[in-house]
Structure 1
């Protein structure tokens, strides 16, 4: 197995990395958002609230008999 940061062989003490330095570089990437998972949710809270209200209205329409 190779280190995901630099490609060198891994060391059991810091696996899956080759060194503490590469492990720290990986941790820094998590902290600065490099590994962030993209979201499909609206980023703007007002847009989110509007979407929730619309979903609630739609649910109420479906519950009423025609």
Structure 2
């Protein structure tokens, strides 16, 4: 397996990285926000609100 940062062979003690340096670089990317999961668009929010409204209207009060 290759290190995801520098592509060198991994070391068992730092797996999946090759060194503490590469592990720390990866951690820094997480802390800085370089790695991010894309947020849902506003259209998705509106669709969800509509579905919730329809579901609440079907329930007997």
1:2 CA displacement: 0.5
d(CA) in 2 for partners of 1:56, 1:23: 43
- 5+ long unaligned stretches in structure 1: 43-47
TM-align CA RMSD = 2.1
Q: Give the structure with higher Rg (CA).
A: 1
Question: What do residues 8-64 of structure 1 show as CA deviations (whole Å, max 9, x unaligned)?
Answer: 01000001000000000000011111111001054xxxxx7xx54x5554442xx28
Count of aligned pairs: 54
Normalising by the residue count of structure 1, what TM-score does the alignment of the two structures yield?
Answer: 0.65
User: SS of the counterpart of 1:39?
Assistant: coil
